[in-house]
Structure 1
Amino acid sequence: MLKLLSKPLALLGTFLLFGATVAAAADIAYGSPLKFAGEVANFARIDAQQPSEPGGVVVTGSSSVRMWRPRIQRDLPGIRVIPRGFGGSNMNDLFFYSEQLISKYQPRAVAIYEGDNDIAQGIAPRQVADKFLALGDKLRSENPDLRIYFIAIKPSLARWSLWPKMQQTNRLIEALCDEREGYFYIDVAGALLENGRPKRDIFIGDGLHLNEKGYELWAEAVAAVLEKLERGYE
């Protein structure tokens, strides 16, 4: 009797193990973007006081963009920049607020830095790439000529254990940019690494955000692409 039952029990065990593996690999749902409603509303108040001319370049994304704001125009002197970084955001948050943070400015181009927080929140690389593609399609449906730049996810001391997944995300999005006209990938990772590890003297105390030296390297990498491709449209 035990022999007769052993095979079905083994199959049941295999099925349960397979089910657990599938569940573990299931996509994690993005959190609600509504927590950023106040920050986005503040941008609207800024716009009411200082309207932006159409045809500029929106630079948006998470805290790495928000903290870049004090020097961003100096780092990109040949471009009319509209900085719209909102700290802690992910690709889904930007998708949700894309009308208020990108489309309303009628930009000729947008540069996006997202994915850092997505991976830290457990979102899979493929999910991030898919959301980037959905965002691009949404923006292009409103402006078919919009040029879209993706600023690669940066390596950092604080999130070094997540770097393999961040690299995978970067590769997926780089491939998407290579396949689609008007999409561009900006590699900042190489400038921030030394002997395959993040440079230790380019971050503030949290090991995640860049200091002035870090932003010099970051800005140089971004400007090498944006200045070259966008200056002619000014």
Structure 2
Amino acid sequence: MTSPRSLPPQLASALRRLEEVPLWVLLSLVLNGLLFITVLVLFRQVHRPTHGVLSVANAFAADGLSGPATPPTLGDRRTLDYQQWVALLEAEATAAAQANLPRQTVLLGDSISLWFPSSLLPGRRTWLNQAISGENSSGLLNRIILLDQNPVESVFIMIGINDLIWGRSDAELVGNLRAIISRLRAQHPQAQIVVQSILPHGGPSATWEGRDRLLALPPERIVAVNAQLKQVASEAGVEYLDLYPLFVDGEGFLRPDLSTDGLHLNANGYLVWRSALAFYNEADHSR
């Protein structure tokens, strides 16, 4: 390998400066490059026919079926109380089960999953967004029965940030996740189950209304809990998708360029998440 001394002075100087750049800065540059590539790919995709990112809202029209009335938009759902929200999700799951929609893939979680733009979800699947704003692991465990009748192919779970924000113990969260996986495995033995890591929060730069609770949640605790969630997934024989490194900055907080308020994601954040799901599927983890 050519040593820096044999290189032209300007190039050798540039290499020395590059060695002084922190690793997290280099990682950020790489991720931004991937994000730029993703935007280009998505831009190209909207100019050619797609093969169907189906959702409950449009799957009936796509398949020529007579289904229920179009469900409320996500904006409308913000006015619902918890029980009304559960009832709506039950109706959507039931409709998808009765229509036997193809390749049913479920998002389970809280508002971070809820606001995932349907247009960015990877194609050739029927996506059921079964997330609820403010959801915690106990609530998710109690309503997992809503999917009992669905021919579920894949489930992507992201849960836990609200448990930590609102003072629930790590042990309770881990125990609930273990029970959620157990219930899904018993009811859908052939389904692919993917546990996704909890994302970092914005810390001091956050503008979310519960900012004080975020400041009381150190980044190290999220890292430690994610390690436990990974262990639960391994012990249960399900997949673990570690999204945390894609969203964290050099201080351990959520990258401001990927967030609206230090807790929730913006369009760029969902593009990063979408890229991770796409790479995951292309790596033959999907069925």
TM-score with structure 1 length normalisation? 0.74
The answer to whether the 8 Å contact 2:155/2:192 transfers is yes
User: How far apart, in 1, do the equivalents of 2:284 and 2:184 lie?
Assistant: 19
Task: Quote how far apart the aligned CAs of 1:131 are.
Answer: 0.7
- Deviation of residue 111 (structure 1)? 0.7
Corresponding position of 1:63: 111
**Aligned residue for 1:201?**
257
Residue 86 of structure 2 is aligned to residue 40 of structure 1: yes
| 1:48 CA displacement | 6.3
Deviating more after overlay: 206-215 vs 155-164:
155-164
* 1:137 lines up with 2:192 in the alignment: no
Provide the aligned C-alpha RMSD in A: 2.2
- Structure 1 residue 226 displacement after superposition: 3.8
Q: What are the equivalent positions in structure 2 for 1:108-147 lying under 5 Å apart?
A: 108-147=153-192
Mapped partners of 1:155, 1:127: distance in 2: 20
Match of 2:269 among 208, 214, 227: 214
Shift of 1:78: 3.8
- Structure 2 CA distance for partners of 1:110 and 1:48, relative to 1, 3 Å: closer
Distance 2:198 2:153 in 1: 23
CA contact (8 A) 2:103 2:125 kept: no
Partner SS state of residue 130, structure 2: strand
Displacement of 1:36: 2.1
How far apart are residue 141 of structure 1 and its match? 1.8
Deviation digits for residues 125-179 of structure 1 (CA, Å, limit 9, x no counterpart) = 2221111001111122222223211111000114364222222211001012223
- Number of residue pairs the alignment of both structures matches: 193
Q: Quick one: which amino acid aligns to residue 86 of structure 2?
A: V
Q: For residue 199 of structure 2, what is the aligned residue in structure 1?
A: 154
1:16 matched residue in structure 2: none
Which of 102, 109, 129 matches 1:83? 129
Q: Which amino acid aligns with 1:186?
A: L
Partner SS, residue 85 of structure 1: coil
Which residue pairs with 1:171 in the alignment?
Answer: 227
Describe the shift of the 1:49–1:173 C-alpha distance in structure 2 as closer, same or farther (beyond 3 A).
Answer: closer
Deviations 1:27-84 (A, max 9, x none): xxxxxxxx6221011123445666452641111110001111xx23533124332211
Per the alignment, in what secondary structure is the counterpart of residue 216 of structure 1?
A: helix
Question: For 1:156, what is the secondary structure of its paired residue?
Answer: coil
Structure 1 unmatched ranges of 5 or more:
1-34
Residue number among 82, 97, 103 corresponding to 2:143 in the alignment? 97
Asked if the contact 1:192/1:199 (under 8 Å) is kept, the reply is yes
Cα displacement (A) at 1:97: 0.4
Whether 2:236 is the aligned partner of 1:180: answer yes
**Counterpart in 1 of 2:60?**
none
- For residues 285 and 104 of structure 2, the distance between their equivalents in structure 1, rounded to whole angstroms, comes to 10
Q: Distance in 1 between matches of 2:124 and 2:169?
A: 36
